[in-house]
């Protein structure tokens, strides 16, 4: 969900206003994607690197996150959607961790789209964590090193219970992954847009999806 800050600054407003606009846009985007049958949407909301932003911006993002989490139960239930958080949530306040646990629990029965929010998430840290978990399993005698294959490591990713990533969209003109879903991106299609996230609307998403549908995915085959 990139470009919130620039979107706001271009309008002479504080960056936090852009983050709010971005959060509002996520809501309508979820409605749209859920309605067309998308099974899972992962959004990058806060990276392991975002802590180094000015404290007031980090605080504003945490307030926004907490406020958002409080709305999940009511909003998701009507839409049959399910919330999932990916990342090291131990770094968040107790208040936020409680709200995450509650939101995940009450939406767990939903069989519509899963909204997976990457929070304090980094692709490298996710892979490192998987390596550590695998090493611990070997040490405890639960598996041998030979048991560690791609399926096993994939099963240790936060996204283990989600379908394969088909399409990664980065708005706001940047053309890089910035530590997002590094493992999962192996065969994902990429789509870049110059539009900042708060302005990235249904028609833009539809363009990306139609383009995706017309690609020839060979997965290394011919
Ligand atoms: C939102 O956009 C992404 C978050 C980390 C919350 P940015 O805050 O990165 O906006 P730009 O890239 O500075 O415009
Ligand atoms: Mg950015």
Nearest-atom index, ligand 1, CA of 22:
1
Give the DSSP letter string of 138-188. HHTTSS-GGG--HHHHHTTSTTTTSPPP-EEEE-TT--S-TTSSTTGGGG-
Q: Quote the pLDDT of residue 73.
A: 97
Give the ligand with the smallest distance to the CA of 46. 1
| Domain map (residue ranges) of the chain | 4-213
Q: What share of the chain has pLDDT > 90, as a percent? A: 99
Reading the block at residue 81, the tokens are: 């959607």
Pocket of ligand 1 (CB under 6 A): 1-6, 19, 22, 45-46, 50, 61, 172
Atom 12 of ligand 1, nearest CA residue: 3
Per-residue pLDDT, averaged over 121-141, amounts to: 98
Cα 29 to Cα 52: distance, rounded to the nearest angstrom: 28
CATH number assigned to the domain with residue range 4-213, chosen from the 4 options 3.40.50.1980, 3.90.1300.10, 3.40.1180.10, 3.40.50.720: 3.40.1180.10
* Predicted TM-score (pTM) of this structure: 0.97
- Ligand 1 atom with the smallest distance to the CA of 6 is 14
pLDDT (tens digit, 9 = 90+) per residue, 183-218?
999 999 999 999 999 999 999 999 999 999 999 989
Evaluate the CA torsion angle 39, 44, 47, 51 in order and state its sign.
negative
């Amino acid at each position: 969900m990139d470009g919130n800050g620039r979107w706001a600054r271009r309008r002479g407003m504080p960056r936090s206003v852009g983050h709010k606009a971005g959060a509002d846009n996520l809501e309508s985007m979820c409605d749209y994607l859920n309605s067309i049958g998308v099974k899972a949407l992962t959004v990058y909301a806060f990276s392991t690197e975002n802590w180094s932003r000015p404290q007031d911006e980090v605080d504003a993002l945490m307030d926004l996150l907490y406020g958002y989490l409080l709305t999940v139960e009511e909003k998701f239930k009507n839409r049959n959607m399910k919330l999932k958080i990916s990342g090291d949530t131990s770094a968040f306040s107790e208040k936020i961790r409680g709200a995450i646990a509650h939101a995940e629990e009450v939406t767990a029965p939903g069989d519509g789209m899963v909204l997976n929010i990457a929070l304090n998430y980094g692709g490298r840290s996710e892979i490192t964590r998987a390596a550590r978990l695998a090493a611990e399993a070997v040490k405890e005698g639960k598996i041998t090193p030979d048991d560690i294959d791609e399926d096993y490591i994939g099963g240790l990713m936060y996204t283990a219970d989600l379908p394969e990533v088909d399409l990664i969209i980065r708005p706001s003109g940047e053309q890089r992954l910035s530590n997002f879903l590094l493992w999962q991106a192996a065969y994902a299609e990429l789509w870049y847009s110059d539009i900042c996230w708060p302005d990235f609307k249904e028609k833009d998403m539809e363009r990306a999806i139609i383009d995706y549908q017309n690609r020839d995915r060979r997965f290394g085959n011919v």
